[in-house]
Structure 1
Amino acid sequence: MSIFKNLCVADDEEVQEFIKRIAANVKRIRLEKGVTQLALALMIGQKSAAFYANAENSAKDR
C-alpha cells in the first residue's frame, strides 16, 4: 500500500519517477553552486549530511 494512494491520482511508478527527478535536479543545482551535501544539510536544519545524503541518493534506488 502506498502512502500516496489517497493523496493523488498518480500511480506509484509516476510518484517514484517524480521523486527521482526532483532529487536529480536538487543534486545538479547543488553541484553547480559548489555546495557540499553537509553544507546543504546544515542549511535545511540537519546536523549531519547523512539524512540529506540518504534522501538524495536513495531516490535512485526506489
Structure 2
Amino acid sequence: MELNALRSAMTLISLLVFLGIVVWAWKGRRRDAFDAAAQLPFADDETPEPAQRSQGANQ
C-alpha cells in the first residue's frame, strides 16, 4: 500500500472516531451525567484544616 493511501485511510478513520465521540457526547441520555460532572468543581466540600506544625519539627 502506498504511504499516501495509508495516511488518507488513517485520516478518514480518525475523522470517523472523532465524529463518533461527538455524537456520543451530545446524545440526550448522557446530559444528566455530564451536567452532574460539570458541577463537581463547585461542590460545597469542607476545606481541610491546615496541619499544625510542632515547634521543634522544622528546626
TM-score higher than 0.5 here? Answer: no
Scaled by the length of structure 2, what TM-score is found? 0.42
User: Which of 1 and 2 has greater Rg?
Assistant: 2
Q: Which has the higher contact order (CA 8 A, sep 6+)?
A: 1
Scaled by the length of structure 1, what TM-score is found? 0.40
